[in-house]
């Protein structure tokens, strides 16, 4: 059981430090970040507006791309 806990701890710490290092690159002053969000529905804006107006907390599935542009 301890081996499983240790493995899980190592995985969590690795993900934490990896995401922290990526976050530092995201806010680098000489890099322009482009974030593109793609939704499966072609009328995504209407769906999101209707959910917002109705007070729903529904979400749409989609994908995100992060692109770096070095100045």
Residue 8, classed as helix, strand or coil, is: helix
State residue 66's pLDDT score: 84
In degrees and rounded to multiples of 5, residue 35 shows phi and psi of: -115, 120
Q: Hey, which of 11-15, 45-49, 54-58 has the most confident mean pLDDT?
A: 45-49
Domain that holds residue 21: 2-70
Whole-number mean pLDDT of the chain? 77
Element (H, E) at 66: strand 62-70
Report the 10 Å Cβ neighbour count for 51.
14
User: What is the mean predicted confidence (pLDDT) over 48-65?
Assistant: 88
- CA–CA separation, 66 vs 71, rounded Å? 16
pTM of the model: 0.50
User: What is the mean predicted confidence (pLDDT) over 58-67?
Assistant: 87
What is the domain count for the chain?
1
User: What is the mean predicted confidence (pLDDT) over 39-45?
Assistant: 91
* 21 has a pLDDT exceeding 60: no
Widest CA span in the chain: 50
Residue whose entry in the numeric block shows the structure tokens 């529904």: 58
């Amino acid at each position: 059981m301890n081996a499983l806990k240790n493995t899980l701890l190592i995985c969590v710490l690795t993900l934490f430090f990896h995401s922290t290092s990526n976050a530092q690159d995201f806010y680098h002053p000489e890099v322009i970040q482009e974030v593109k969000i793609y939704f499966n529905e072609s009328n995504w804006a209407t769906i999101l507006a209707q959910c917002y107006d109705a007070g729903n907390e529904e979400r749409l599935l989609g994908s995100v791309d992060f692109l770096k542009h070095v100045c």
